[in-house]
Structure 1
Amino acid sequence: MAVPTVSVIIAAYNAMPYVTRSVSSLAEQSIGQEQMEVIIVDDGSTDGTSAELERLTSVYPGLLQVIRQENSGGPGAPRNRGLELARGRYVFFLDADDYVGPETLDRMVAMAEKNNTDIVLGKMVGVGGRGMPASMFKRNQPKTDVFNSRIYWTLSPLKLFRRELLEKHKLRFTSGLPVGEDQPFTALAYLNASGVSVIADYDCLFCTLRDDGGNVTTRTVGAEPRLQFLSAMIDLLLENVPSGPGRDHLAHRHLTIEVQVLLKGHLVHEARGEQEKTLARMAEIIDRVWHDGINDQLSAMARLRVYLIRHRMLDEILELIEFEKSLGKSGISTPLLLEDGRAYARYPFLRDPARAVPDICYDVTDKVGVRHHVSRAELRGTTLHLAGHAYLHRVATENVTTELVLRERDNGTEYRLPVLHTPTPGLGADEDEGHYAYEKAGFAAAIDIDTAAAGAPLGDGLWDISLAVGAQGLSREVRIGGKRAEDVSGKADTRVIATTQGVRPVTVYTTNPHGNFTIDLGEQKHRVLSHLKIGAVRWNASTPTELQITGRWTLGAYPDGPMTLALSSDSGKTAAFPVTGTAHSDTFTARVPVSDLPEGTWSGELRLSGWSTRLPRLPKDLAPAKWRRRGLPWYAKPASVTGSSFALRVAKADLLKAVAGKLKP
């Protein structure tokens, strides 16, 4: 029997009517049924799931292997049973409530094979109002790991695993945990994987919120099951991950998500005595992984929650939970306290001497949002003119100190330029229910290439453009351009301009994918000659001895009159001819009166200031041009030379050969 590429394992319990779509989506996979085996473990269903699985087995003969067992109380045991039977090179876990996109398995296997990764995450989509993790699916990640990405924020096993990884490390689902039994399995798989891939550009997995509330995560109630689970995950980190930033990165997930669920979903519903016990147990668990440095990983709200838990401040925790509920319903972001260049969120108990909660639990300086919009970005001569608005979210535009920052990307050289502050009446009315106003957020700035380097010309390089947006003593830097008016182009604009240092190439462009403005000086990425397209080379129809060369410059601008067509002969003679542009067009024409050229084989190039490019090879079928000079016959025709460059032979006709040719019968 051929070994399947993928073993799909489904743990099914009272999964009607969802299991029908789940199985159908697998049968329709583009990878082909011959590449799959689908193992469904019916965990003691009582609602007709068994009968439906029997029907589906006949609909898709040879695809499904259905195993029936007594109810185990959770999906872990049936998944383990499926693993014992799996034969595929890869294993994909699917819940009976969910379904997959038509190309899911095909894409996942291809991603794993191409990048030699052991696990592949596919983008998850919630159905029926179900929320799904999203932070790890912002972009495709061919190969990453648990410490350098956000993949740890999804610990469900609904992923593709290389079966060799699972067998080598004897990974199975934990028994004895009433909730979260899948998370130790996935966490250990992440930690032992050779690499993890993420597919973010295709909707792979569709997860359904059941109408009957039958999802496992919605059936489990009470704090104790989740306390057991949180304790188990903290122990797993302590046993498998050395102390340091890596462990802190992973602990961040549990100290944010699990702690919040415990407080808001369970502790608030308990009696006072049970609340005190739950709080004490949470504090004991958190203290096993807690240290001051972990604050760098947490948001201010998470720091505050954890502080209150660790200090057993039950009443304050209950008040904070109510504050968070009201904050979620409100359309207004929390106000800030600004002091000594720092920003503190006005969460409960800030600077309350009776509670003495440290300021670090409120410090949001590095999280203050910067809003900006560019309404003008125009290069005129040597100067780039910029305009728009920029402000710090929740910080009124008083004592504005915004300035423009130019920073060379490779060596970090930095120059700061002043901006003109302009009024922006009504700005802010469309967010936070108009609670905050930004009346002086406008800016206008000019970057003159000749003077921007503290009065001197900017050197060659890639100069990224930012704003240091400041008000009331607080300042945050932001790259600009990602938000801009529709009529402000982000397309690269390459020009050749006259400066105090002579003619220089400059390109204003926006980065990919963020769309921020950068000035390219000195052709770091944008070549001038890439904008030259030489077209037809032919004889002028009205002047048969005039060679006409046409082409197109796609530069935004270049100095008047510097373009010439230069010819040189094998005997050392030279000739130059003007290149003229077509009015209101980027096309140009050069005309060479070959009857004026001395005898020889001529090569040629187009010159624009300090740039030059060779003319293309003349067409082989270009007919010779003929004329008389002092009564003698002359001609010009493509020369037979090695290479692909322009070569024109100008010479007197051989009279003896010409006469002999005419006398031949």
Structure 2
Amino acid sequence: MAIPAVSVIVAAYNAMPYLTRCITSVAEQTIGQDELEIIVVDDGSTDETARELHRLAGVYPGLITIFEQPNSGGPSAPRNAGLDHARGRFVFFLDADDYLGPEALERMVAMAEKNGTDVVLGKMVGVGGREAPASMFRRDQPKTDVFSSRVYWTLNPMKLFRRELLERHALRFPVDLSIGEDQLFVGPAYLHAAGISVLASYDCLYWVQREDEGNITLRPGGTETRLTFLPRVVDMIMENVPPGPGRDHLAQRHLTVEVQQLLDHLVHEPRPQQEKALARLADTITPLWHEGLNDRLSAMARLRLHLVRHRMLDELLALARFERELARSSVSTPVLIDRGRALARYPFLRDPDRAIPDTCYDITAQLGVRHRIDRAELHGTTLHLAGHGYLHRVATEDVTTELVLRERDSKEEFRLPVTHTATPRLGADEDSGHYAYEKAGFEATVDITTAADGGPLQDGLWDISLAIGARGITREVRVGSKRATTVSGKAATHVVNTTEGPRAATLYTTHPHGNFTLDLGEQKHPVLPHLSLDDTVRWAADAPTELELTGRCTLAGHPEGALAVAVSNDRGDSTSFVASTTDGSFVVRVPVTELPAGIWHGALRLGDWALPLPALPSNLTAAKWRRRALPWYAKPAVNGENGLALHVARTDLVKAMTRRSKPRRGAAAC
């Protein structure tokens, strides 16, 4: 029997009517039924789940294997049973409430095989009001790990796992836990994986909120259930990850998410149980939390942990109530600005009876930065920028915003002043208008010939940022990702005149973030691809002695008269003829009557950039004219070099008469 690519394991308990869509979404996967097996474990359902499973098995014969067992009380036992019978190279755990996008398995298997990874996270989409994890799905990540990405912030098992990884490490779901069992399965799988892939560009898993809120993975429990699994998760981290940034990265998740969830349940329990649970929680987090972690944590998380460490139960209950009200409010918490620091006005801020340190309230580094670009244009050597920028919840008083240019490789930077402009009613559509930012506007002009402390900016990629400052606080942010619809992010390459000669300057937005960068000196945007010449060279229809060349110039700008055809001959003569441009096309006419005698070659030139001129057609008729009553001609040069070769000469009258006097071949002599 052929080994399938994927074994999809479905734990089902009273899963109707969601089960039908779930199983159908797997059976109809584009990877094909030959590459699939579906293992469904009915965990003692009392509704129509069993009947529907057998019906679906008849619809898809040979595809679905059904196991029935008494109810185990949780998803661990049915998932383990399915894993024990799986034969696929990969396994995917799917809850019976959820369903897959049509190409999900094909795309995830392909990503795993191409990159040699053991786990693949497919983008999750919430359905029916269910909130799906999002921070790890901002972009595709072909190969990453648990320490250099956000994958650890989703520990549910609805992912693609290489089965060999699970068997090699004997990974199974603990059956003695009612919640948190997924963390003790997925966490070790992440840590032992040879690599992890993230497929963010396709909606793989639709995560459904059941109308009866009966999802297995949503069972709430209380503090006791959380204090049962959390110490085991801490032990798992301590045993597998040495002290340092890696351990702190994982600890951040649990010290933020699990602690908050536990405290949410703590408020509903009797006082003796609250005191006992708080003491156990403080002991549990002690191995993970140290002061060096504070920079990774939000101010709210720092405050929670301080109160937990010091067993400040009443304050924790008050904070939990504050957080519930804050979640319902449309207004963000006000801040206290003091000596260049921003402190959130959370409960007990600078309360002398509690003596909680300011570090538990400090949100200076986490202040939201709001910005938008309303103008971004390059005219000649000058870049014009305009827009607004402000710090969320910080009034635009004593504004000190500057424009920052920083060269990407050398890190050389220049800070340039901006003109502050009024922004009436800015902030009215945020926080119910509670905060106003009426002096957040700016205008800036950057001349590339003087921006480097009076001198020219050197060639390089100059990233553009704003150092947004108000009331003694400054935050720097790259700009361009937020811009008005009238502001283009498309690369615009210019050739500009400077005292050092012509220079290439391109204003563009980076991918994928969309921030503005100024490219000086063709680091990423060469000039020549913007210039092209048509192959056909002809005599102008209205001027039979003017050679006409046509082409395209897609530059956003260049000095007037700089685009020209320059020609020279074998006798040292040279001249040029300016192109006439219209809507990206150009025409150059070369009046051969003005050229001295010789063999002429040339190029299309724009400053120091040049394109060779196309060769003249061999059958191009000669142009003829009179200069000082003597006959002249211009025609393709015989045995000319590659490219244009034009022979200009005075007609030799003796040779011309001789040719005329010779009898034509076949004619009778007189």
Band of TM-score, shorter chain: over 0.9
Equivalent in the alignment of 1:377: 376
The Cα of 1:498 is off from its aligned counterpart by: 2.3
Equivalent in the alignment of 2:609: 611
CA distance in 1, matches of 2:663, 2:55: 92
CA distance in 2, matches of 1:55, 1:659: 104
Q: Summarize the Cα distance change of 1:628–1:337 in structure 2 as closer, same or farther, 3 Å threshold.
A: closer
Contact residue 577 and residue 590 of structure 2 kept, 8 A: no
Q: How does 1:542-561 map to 2 (within 5 A)?
A: 542-561=542-561
CA distance in 2, matches of 1:13, 1:562: 76
Equivalent in the alignment of 1:486: 485
Equivalent in the alignment of 2:303: 304
- The amino acid of 1:339's aligned partner reads D
Q: How does 1:27-66 map to 2 (within 5 A)?
A: 27-66=27-66
Is 1:533 equivalent to 2:549 in the alignment?
no
Equivalent in the alignment of 1:78: 78
* Stretch deviating more after TM superposition (112-121 or 591-600): 591-600
Contact residue 577 and residue 591 of structure 1 kept, 8 A: no
- Deviation digits for residues 578-615 of structure 1 (CA, Å, limit 9, x no counterpart): 12314x54432222345666776543211122221212
Equivalent in the alignment of 1:91: 91
CA distance in 1, matches of 2:104, 2:508: 37
CA distance in 2, matches of 1:413, 1:275: 56
CA distance in 1, matches of 2:617, 2:346: 77
The Cα of 1:37 is off from its aligned counterpart by: 0.8
Is 1:18 equivalent to 2:27 in the alignment?
no
CA distance in 1, matches of 2:119, 2:661: 83
- Deviation digits for residues 601-643 of structure 1 (CA, Å, limit 9, x no counterpart): 54321112222121234456x5343547898896623766676
Contact residue 400 and residue 468 of structure 2 kept, 8 A: yes
Equivalent in the alignment of 1:134: 134
- The amino acid of 1:589's aligned partner reads V
SS in 2 for 1:433: helix
Equivalent in the alignment of 1:210: 210
Q: Summarize the Cα distance change of 1:591–1:142 in structure 2 as closer, same or farther, 3 Å threshold.
A: same
Q: Summarize the Cα distance change of 1:613–1:74 in structure 2 as closer, same or farther, 3 Å threshold.
A: same
Equivalent in the alignment of 2:438: 439
Equivalent in the alignment of 1:69: 69
Q: How does 1:417-496 map to 2 (within 5 A)?
A: 417-496=416-495
The Cα of 1:127 is off from its aligned counterpart by: 1.3
The Cα of 1:297 is off from its aligned counterpart by: 1.5
CA distance in 2, matches of 1:226, 1:320: 20
Q: Summarize the Cα distance change of 1:618–1:417 in structure 2 as closer, same or farther, 3 Å threshold.
A: same
- The amino acid of 2:372's aligned partner reads H
The Cα of 1:577 is off from its aligned counterpart by: 3.1
Contact residue 30 and residue 102 of structure 2 kept, 8 A: yes
Q: Summarize the Cα distance change of 1:277–1:413 in structure 2 as closer, same or farther, 3 Å threshold.
A: same
Match of 1:663 among 653, 662, 665: 665
Equivalent in the alignment of 1:222: 222
- The amino acid of 1:444's aligned partner reads E
Contact residue 573 and residue 596 of structure 2 kept, 8 A: no
Q: Summarize the Cα distance change of 1:578–1:8 in structure 2 as closer, same or farther, 3 Å threshold.
A: same
Equivalent in the alignment of 2:242: 242
- Deviation digits for residues 354-379 of structure 1 (CA, Å, limit 9, x no counterpart): 11111111111111111122222233
The Cα of 1:36 is off from its aligned counterpart by: 0.6
Equivalent in the alignment of 2:403: 404
CA distance in 2, matches of 1:153, 1:284: 23
- Deviation digits for residues 625-664 of structure 1 (CA, Å, limit 9, x no counterpart): 3547898896623766676x44456688997999999516
Is 1:153 equivalent to 2:150 in the alignment?
no
Q: Summarize the Cα distance change of 1:183–1:662 in structure 2 as closer, same or farther, 3 Å threshold.
A: farther
CA distance in 2, matches of 1:294, 1:555: 51
Is 1:352 equivalent to 2:351 in the alignment?
yes
CA distance in 1, matches of 2:663, 2:98: 87
The Cα of 1:550 is off from its aligned counterpart by: 1.1
Contact residue 29 and residue 103 of structure 2 kept, 8 A: yes
CA distance in 2, matches of 1:657, 1:191: 92
Equivalent in the alignment of 1:513: 512
Equivalent in the alignment of 1:177: 177
* Stretch deviating more after TM superposition (537-546 or 412-421): 537-546
CA distance in 1, matches of 2:160, 2:382: 54
Q: Summarize the Cα distance change of 1:78–1:601 in structure 2 as closer, same or farther, 3 Å threshold.
A: farther
- Deviation digits for residues 549-573 of structure 1 (CA, Å, limit 9, x no counterpart): 012222233223233322345x454
SS in 2 for 1:319: helix
The Cα of 1:473 is off from its aligned counterpart by: 0.8
Match of 1:625 among 618, 622, 625: 622
The Cα of 1:220 is off from its aligned counterpart by: 4.2
- The amino acid of 2:622's aligned partner reads A
Equivalent in the alignment of 2:101: 101
CA distance in 1, matches of 2:334, 2:427: 14
Q: Summarize the Cα distance change of 1:273–1:658 in structure 2 as closer, same or farther, 3 Å threshold.
A: farther
- Deviation digits for residues 95-131 of structure 1 (CA, Å, limit 9, x no counterpart): 1111101111111111112211111111111111111
The Cα of 1:444 is off from its aligned counterpart by: 1.8
- The amino acid of 1:663's aligned partner reads R
Q: Summarize the Cα distance change of 1:183–1:619 in structure 2 as closer, same or farther, 3 Å threshold.
A: farther
CA distance in 1, matches of 2:659, 2:157: 88
Equivalent in the alignment of 1:503: 502
* Stretch deviating more after TM superposition (21-30 or 532-541): 532-541
- The amino acid of 2:211's aligned partner reads D
CA distance in 2, matches of 1:635, 1:360: 85
CA distance in 2, matches of 1:63, 1:572: 85
Q: Summarize the Cα distance change of 1:650–1:353 in structure 2 as closer, same or farther, 3 Å threshold.
A: same
CA distance in 2, matches of 1:661, 1:18: 100
The Cα of 1:511 is off from its aligned counterpart by: 2.1
* Stretch deviating more after TM superposition (216-225 or 353-362): 216-225
- Deviation digits for residues 463-494 of structure 1 (CA, Å, limit 9, x no counterpart): 22211111111111112222222222222222
Q: Summarize the Cα distance change of 1:632–1:457 in structure 2 as closer, same or farther, 3 Å threshold.
A: closer
Is 1:590 equivalent to 2:588 in the alignment?
yes
- The amino acid of 2:147's aligned partner reads F
The Cα of 1:515 is off from its aligned counterpart by: 2.4
The Cα of 1:303 is off from its aligned counterpart by: 0.8
Contact residue 539 and residue 545 of structure 1 kept, 8 A: yes
CA distance in 1, matches of 2:356, 2:543: 91
- RMSD over equivalenced CA pairs, Å: 2.4
Q: Which runs of 5+ in 1 are unaligned?
A: none
Equivalent in the alignment of 1:253: 253
- The amino acid of 2:180's aligned partner reads G
- The amino acid of 1:3's aligned partner reads I
The alignment covers a number of residue pairs equal to 660
- The amino acid of 1:484's aligned partner reads R
- The amino acid of 2:665's aligned partner reads L
CA distance in 1, matches of 2:499, 2:594: 39
Contact residue 617 and residue 636 of structure 2 kept, 8 A: no
